[in-house]
Structure 1
Amino acid sequence: MSQSTTTPFRCWAEIDLAALERNLKSIRAALPEHIKYIAVVKAEAYGHGMQQTVARLMQANVDMFAVANVLEAAKIREIGTGWPIIVLGATLENEESYLFEYDLIPTISTIEEVERLNRKARSHEKPLKAHIKIDTGMGRLGIWHEYATELFDAFHKATFLTLGGVYTHFASASRDPEFTRRQRQLFTETIAKVDWLETEKLLIHADNSAGISTFAPDSVYNAVRIGLLQFGIAPYPLSILGEVDTTPIFEFKSRVGIVKQLPAGATISYGRSRTLQRDSRVAIVCAGYGDGVPLKLSDRGDVLISGERCPILGQVTMDQTIVDVTDIEGVVKSGDQVTLIGPQGEGGIRLQEFSEWAETIPWEILCSVTKRVPRIYRTAIITG
């Protein structure tokens, strides 16, 4: 049950953990049974909150977690043990001890990393499991595919390193299927060149939330990395898997501060960014860019009040946003709930729509809702 009717907060986010678990089960059901589920929870679980999200994913029996760095991984270890954690970002030299303290799996992209981590593992007298990343067109981390054989050879000679997996990252899985097919081909061909690899003993993964739309069940891949989709956001078709029934778990809400009457000709917000063309009733919403309402929403986009869309007027400010409630039937008053993202009454504002108004992507919106916005968790236990 939503707690928004009783919360004292001026601006808050609601996270539906039961929906998160349902989403995970729906994604799993669409994949072959042998495929391992790697839950990507970097950046505070895409802004949803690391501790609560990870705890629910553990309860839902994910196979593995993936994070951006060792400090994020350490937070997971404080929540629970027993789940492998892969660090997707590069491990800096002063972070190496965390790999052993928290039993983490680093990503290796260079021969220098092989040599450095092998020395560290030898000094700890403890073998270190790692994944090799191959760059097939992303241009970020990973050894460029044409040079990958050299990295595999160096790894094979490292006496204190154990290979746990090999992966790549799709650069445009949601927009360019032809380029994605090319990346798949390069990845498969690169792995095939390494004659000592026992792929059946490794995690081979490439597919993120967008990538599973072209997932090949009979391929060498035996794991997927799921981030945005498990949170119910799928801004792309999932044709190969068929219908994957996921529900957005994130809602962004605020309240009306005051309601006031302004005459035609009155100017709105900083820089007199808007001049009213009619006598208007406006509501001052208790949320601004200091909470995560993008400045790009100045004079564009809507919020929901009483289930009706109300356009944003003028420039979004740090703590407040002005909206037009002239056309709403009934009384709008201080304390009324405002929905920026999510359902209200018969209407709703989707995260994708909100992102388009802001000229950005859902990932950034979720990560940009600031720390001063409390997260309220719905924790209903699901059955079935």
Structure 2
Amino acid sequence: MKNAPTIPPRCWAEIDLAALERNLRRIRQALPPHIRYVAVVKADAYGHGLHPTVARLMHAGADLFAVANVAEGAAVREIGPGWPILVLGPLLPEEAEFAVHYDLTCTVSSFAEVDRLDQVGRQAGRALPVHLKIDTGMGRAGVWHEHAPALAAEILKRPHLSLDGVFTHFSSADCDPEFTDRQRRLFLDTLSRCIGIADRRLLIHTDNSAGLESLAEDGPINAVRVGLLQFGILPHESSLLARVQPDPVFSFHTRIGLVKTVPAGTGISYGRTRVVSRETKLAVLAAGYGDGIPRACSDRGRVLVRGRRCPILGRVTMDQTVVDVTDVPEADLGDEVVLVGRQGSEQISLGEFSHWADTIPWETLTSVTKRVRRIYRTGLS
């Protein structure tokens, strides 16, 4: 069909790319000048959309990118050449040749990975860049810290591997500063015992957004991995993060699909989990858990209608959500409803929305589904 009109969205997310660029600059200003900026863009850039997000971060001056797997790395490489791309997760055996093809840097946690990647490098006729990951207490990927010096020595012996970085992952930077400090000291001690790396120009990184508060200005650490903070979300309260004052990048919207009034005693939605005690004006929203409104928000969450907070009634269903707009008598069919973001003088933060859903902002962002249209605001920062 030629020249078919664009169907207006029933549910959409707005992504403010200018705010993203401002956040990167503010984070840089809050960090020591020698620290390199690793932009973490895994999981479709935390649900913001990989291509527009990465393109803006490239424009804004990110030093390198980090992704979860080879497929994500390949997608970033297609956007622009020249930037180093670190694959944070372990590679499946058949993925190594694609890492070579797309010029990706692989993470190494075991001797078996060293053998496999060295062989792939030999077949490619060049040395493959790798980062050694050290497990300092996360208990996930990474070589256990006691065995890290031996693995580092093995990497340095391999002619078709190039050790370009060493890192660890803090498990509790947002809630346990004592354990984070213990992990940091253990990492630095382990690093000092890795013979042969002191004279190499390596990228040394330990901190994500939550760990920036305890980052030391001196010492070997010369990079940070920034994910959530660049999208305007504070992982926890701290003086450094407060200084950054990031702007929200993401907001979440839908519309009223139906307005009706029901008498007292009416049960709302599946299971009649809520029975109204008064005559109630209802707005049926054109979005549900099939769009990214978590079912856990049932009878707990709030939305903004004409700048006022209105409670969700009953269970959130796949395609619709019912809210009480009795106290907003002017609410009408087609009105915009804000799930996350600002409307008038009121605001619902992503953290508040996630709290109602018994989850964390990371999961909320990556749970907004494909049928939610992303609308990009591309103004100057």
Give, as a single letter, the amino acid of the residue that structure 1 aligns with 2:367.
S
User: 2: distance between equivalents of 1:199 and 1:286?
Assistant: 60
Give, as a single letter, the amino acid of the residue that structure 1 aligns with 2:188.
T
User: 2: distance between equivalents of 1:284 and 1:78?
Assistant: 42
Deviations 1:106-135 (A, max 9, x none): 000000000110011001111101000000
User: 1: distance between equivalents of 2:241 and 2:223?
Assistant: 15
Confirm whether residue 250 of structure 1 aligns to residue 236 of structure 2: no
User: 1: distance between equivalents of 2:152 and 2:53?
Assistant: 35
Q: Which residue of 2 aligns with 1:211?
A: 211
Q: TM-score, normalised to structure 2's length?
A: 0.97
In 2, are the aligned partners of 1:212 and 1:238 still within 8 Å (CA)? no
Deviations 1:131-160 (A, max 9, x none): 000000111100010111221122122111
Query: CA, structure 1 residues 39+279, in 2 after alignment: closer, same or farther (shift >3 Å)?
Result: same
In 1, are the aligned partners of 2:342 and 2:348 still within 8 Å (CA)? yes
Q: Which residue of 1 aligns with 2:3?
A: none
User: 1: distance between equivalents of 2:197 and 2:291?
Assistant: 49
3-state DSSP class of the match of 1:147? helix
User: 1: distance between equivalents of 2:232 and 2:306?
Assistant: 25
Displacement of 1:232 in angstroms is 0.2
In 1, are the aligned partners of 2:21 and 2:56 still within 8 Å (CA)? yes
Q: Which residue of 2 aligns with 1:368?
A: 367
Q: Which residue of 2 aligns with 1:275?
A: 275
In 2, are the aligned partners of 1:73 and 1:104 still within 8 Å (CA)? yes
Q: Which residue of 2 aligns with 1:145?
A: 145
RMSD: 1.2
User: 2: distance between equivalents of 1:235 and 1:226?
Assistant: 11
Q: Which residue of 1 aligns with 2:17?
A: 17
Displacement of 1:237 in angstroms is 2.3
User: 2: distance between equivalents of 1:189 and 1:291?
Assistant: 47
Unaligned ranges ≥5, structure 1? 1-5
Give, as a single letter, the amino acid of the residue that structure 2 aligns with 1:11.
C
Deviations 1:177-208 (A, max 9, x none): 00000000000000000121136610000010
User: 2: distance between equivalents of 1:206 and 1:242?
Assistant: 21
Give, as a single letter, the amino acid of the residue that structure 1 aligns with 2:227.
G
Q: Which residue of 1 aligns with 2:336?
A: 337
Question: After the TM superposition, which parts of structure 1 deviate over 2 Å for at least 4 consecutive aligned residues?
Answer: 237-242
Give, as a single letter, the amino acid of the residue that structure 2 aligns with 1:377.
Y
Give, as a single letter, the amino acid of the residue that structure 2 aligns with 1:131.
H
3-state DSSP class of the match of 1:243? helix
3-state DSSP class of the match of 1:217? coil
User: 1: distance between equivalents of 2:202 and 2:209?
Assistant: 21
Identity of aligned residues (%): 58
Confirm whether residue 179 of structure 1 aligns to residue 189 of structure 2: no
3-state DSSP class of the match of 2:43? helix
Displacement of 1:93 in angstroms is 1.0
User: 2: distance between equivalents of 1:288 and 1:346?
Assistant: 25
Confirm whether residue 119 of structure 1 aligns to residue 127 of structure 2: no
In 2, are the aligned partners of 1:235 and 1:352 still within 8 Å (CA)? no
3-state DSSP class of the match of 1:213? helix
Displacement of 1:100 in angstroms is 1.2
Deviations 1:20-39 (A, max 9, x none): 00000000001111110000
In 2, are the aligned partners of 1:215 and 1:240 still within 8 Å (CA)? no
3-state DSSP class of the match of 2:19? helix
- What pairs with 1:168-247 in structure 2 (closer than 5 Å)? 168-198=168-198, 201-240=201-240, 243-247=243-247
Query: CA, structure 1 residues 188+199, in 2 after alignment: closer, same or farther (shift >3 Å)?
Result: farther
Give, as a single letter, the amino acid of the residue that structure 2 aligns with 1:334.
L
Deviations 1:283-328 (A, max 9, x none): 0001100000000001111000000000000000000000000011
Displacement of 1:77 in angstroms is 1.1
In 2, are the aligned partners of 1:214 and 1:239 still within 8 Å (CA)? no
Deviations 1:322-367 (A, max 9, x none): 0000011x41111000000000001010000011110100000000
Give, as a single letter, the amino acid of the residue that structure 2 aligns with 1:250.
F
Matched residues, number: 376
3-state DSSP class of the match of 2:172? coil
User: 2: distance between equivalents of 1:117 and 1:322?
Assistant: 54
Displacement of 1:242 in angstroms is 6.0
Displacement of 1:67 in angstroms is 0.1
User: 2: distance between equivalents of 1:206 and 1:86?
Assistant: 14
3-state DSSP class of the match of 2:337? strand
Displacement of 1:219 in angstroms is 2.1
User: 2: distance between equivalents of 1:26 and 1:99?
Assistant: 32
User: 2: distance between equivalents of 1:242 and 1:287?
Assistant: 33
In 1, are the aligned partners of 2:40 and 2:225 still within 8 Å (CA)? yes
User: 1: distance between equivalents of 2:84 and 2:121?
Assistant: 18
Give, as a single letter, the amino acid of the residue that structure 2 aligns with 1:354.
F
- What pairs with 1:43-54 in structure 2 (closer than 5 Å)? 43-54=43-54
Query: CA, structure 1 residues 226+177, in 2 after alignment: closer, same or farther (shift >3 Å)?
Result: same
Deviations 1:240-263 (A, max 9, x none): 566112011000000000100000
Displacement of 1:7 in angstroms is 8.4
Give, as a single letter, the amino acid of the residue that structure 2 aligns with 1:40.
V
User: 1: distance between equivalents of 2:12 and 2:348?
Assistant: 16
- What pairs with 1:1-40 in structure 2 (closer than 5 Å)? 8-40=8-40
Give, as a single letter, the amino acid of the residue that structure 1 aligns with 2:323.
V
Q: Which residue of 2 aligns with 1:3?
A: none
Displacement of 1:92 in angstroms is 1.1
Q: Which residue of 2 aligns with 1:379?
A: 378
User: 2: distance between equivalents of 1:348 and 1:264?
Assistant: 30
3-state DSSP class of the match of 2:243? coil
In 2, are the aligned partners of 1:148 and 1:190 still within 8 Å (CA)? yes
In 2, are the aligned partners of 1:30 and 1:242 still within 8 Å (CA)? no
In 2, are the aligned partners of 1:70 and 1:91 still within 8 Å (CA)? yes
In 2, are the aligned partners of 1:213 and 1:237 still within 8 Å (CA)? no
User: 1: distance between equivalents of 2:78 and 2:15?
Assistant: 21
Give, as a single letter, the amino acid of the residue that structure 2 aligns with 1:139.
G
